Amino acid sequence: MRSPLGFAAFTLGLALTLMGCSRRAGPGGGPAGATSTPSAVASAKPPSNELVQTGAALYLRYCELCHGKDATGYAADNAPSLVTRTFLESADDAFIAKAIQVGRPSTAMGAYGKDRGGPLDNSAIGAIVAFLRARGPAARPLPGGPAHGNAAQGANVYQTECAGCHGTETERKTALSLYNPELLAAASAPFLRYAVTNGRAPTPMPAFGGKLSPAAIEDVVTFLANRGKGYPPPSAAPIGSVPKNLPVVINPKGRPATFTLRDERFVPAADVKKALDEHRRIVIVDARSPADWVAYHIPGAISAPYYQAAELERIPNDGTWVIAYCACPHHASGAVVDALRTKGYKHTAVLDEGILVWKSNGFPLEGESAH
């Protein structure tokens, strides 16, 4: 697992982009009249062409920004390919749908399900799954049952073969973290085993079936599977919503904030924190899914997702500094800043390290899971 983006498809970082469905959309963005649920999107029949086209339009609006136009990934922040053969063979429709619905907390992959405060109802999620499934094979029964290796030996295998790319519990590397609780709770031992053995060609994640012994593979699968046992399955329980008519300007009577940008675009998190501590006048924009804003956000930040340009109309174009952030850490927030600059806003910047570094630094947060 020395690939820089190994286990790429695990996160399903469907951190999704900009264009809408123009064909017979229902109230939640999905096909009119559809009633599928994330746990029941699989079908014995091939998806209809209309459903696939609807899913393609939704994918372009919400997913392309990070996963690329053709869903082969890596448009932003190592967002994985969603259409490799081995991923689609090993992930059933319910697995994919649940990842879209509840996301991967503490990663760049937000929750997009309407019940979680996001923009997509169950029919829309089902359409996106149909679009992805149409680009590859159906899910197949996976070999092997529960993990039955030696977890202690698997920890050694992980350290030798995986940690260089996937990091540890306290250190992130270039590939996705395999310590994410909801990922480990969602990924079965057969799913993990299939990924390690067969890789994710043509991504940089190689197949280890020809490098590691079956026993070593089983050991590392057992190590990862055991880590997931203490976590509950990903929850789809409803959460709160973004309040309407939130104040846009923080400290409207304060002195204007001033910043020196890196590359004329990025502002350090510490500088934004200092401006807030000094009660400076500023606008902060959370460019993530509204579900992520509900979970936690910088105090005073408004929710203006990258796929809802109309939300930016609320921001005064009077020279006040506007700082946008996301978890990528630059991609979605960068799209918001580009949109503002196109409209002639003079003082705009991307929060350089993103919200995850802001959080890891212990800077102030608000929201349902801020503490």
Please state, in angstroms and rounded to a whole number, the distance separating the CA atoms of residues 35 and 28: 11
Residue 255 neighbours by CB distance under 10 Å: 11
At 286, give phi and psi (nearest 5°): -90, 110
Q: Nearest 5°: phi and psi at 9?
A: -80, -5
Encoded tokens for 66: 């990070």
Vertex 12: Cα angle to 130 and 290 (nearest 5) = 95
Question: Which residues make Cβ contacts (< 8 Å) with residue 198, sequence separation at least 6?
Answer: 86, 207, 209
How far lies 151's CA from each of 57, 172, 181, 195, 311, in Å?
A: 44, 22, 17, 18, 49
196 in Cβ contact with 9 (< 8 Å): no
Per-residue pLDDT of the chain (371 residues; tens, 9 = 90+): 433 333 333 334 333 333 233 333 333 443 333 333 333 333 446 678 999 999 999 999 999 988 999 998 888 767 888 999 999 999 999 999 999 998 887 778 888 998 888 899 999 999 999 999 999 999 999 988 999 999 999 999 999 999 888 888 877 776 777 887 778 888 899 999 999 999 989 888 889 998 999 999 999 999 999 987 766 665 555 567 888 888 999 999 999 999 999 999 999 999 999 999 999 999 999 999 998 999 899 999 999 999 998 999 999 999 999 999 999 889 999 999 999 999 999 999 999 989 999 999 999 999 987 76
Question: Which helix H or strand E contains 359, and what residues bound it?
Answer: helix 354-360
On the 0-12 / 13-18 / 19+ scale of CB atoms within 10 A, 361 is exposed
SS3 297: strand
Q: Say whether 286 sits in a helix, a strand or coil.
A: strand
Task: Report CA Rg, the chain.
Answer: 21
- Domains in the chain, CATH or no CATH each: 1-238 (1.10.760.10), 266-360 (3.40.250.10)
Which residues, in sequence order, are bridge partners of residue 338?
none
Q: Distance between CA atoms of 6 and 200, rounded to whole angstroms? A: 8
Partners of 250 in the β-ladder: 282
Answer positive or negative: Cα dihedral of 242, 246, 251, 257.
positive
Cβ-contact 92, 85 below 8 angstroms:
no
Helix then strand then coil, in percent of the chain rounded to 5, is 35, 5, 55
Closest CA to 359 of 344, 371, 343, 347: 371
